[in-house]
Amino acid sequence: MSFKILVINPGSTSTKIAVYLDEKPVFEKTLRHTVEEIEKYDTIFDQYPFRKNVIEETLTENKIDIKELSGVVGRGGLLKTNRRRHI
């Protein structure tokens, strides 16, 4: 059984994506974002819909069907935490 994996690496002004079939890369692209595009958003969390749309459009343009993906892996980014302080 083969696995098709989308890998996403968001940076400050770009998003690198790659699709792997098992361990073999079958598609790689760096999606560049202008400062003007990024400045529209107050936080990195607010950029999510923008970056998601750019990724989906790029995959569609390159005839990669997201329904065929076995998984998606992201590198970096921020996680919300719920920390409790113990005094």
User: What is the full DSSP assignment across 43-87?
Assistant: STGGGHHHHHHHHHHHHHHTT--GGG-SEEEE-S-----------
Residue 20 placed within a domain: yes
Residue 17 placed within a domain: yes
Query: Residue 64 belongs to what domain range?
Result: 4-74
CATH code (residue 49): 3.30.420.40
Residue 81 placed within a domain: no
Quote the CA–CA distance of 38 and 51 in Å, as a whole number: 10
Residue 85 placed within a domain: no
Q: How many domains does the chain have?
A: 1
pTM: 0.82
DSSP letter at 42 equals S
Residue 22 placed within a domain: yes
Residue 87 placed within a domain: no
pLDDT tens-digit series, residues 23-81: 999 999 999 999 999 999 998 889 999 999 999 999 999 999 999 999 999 987 555 55
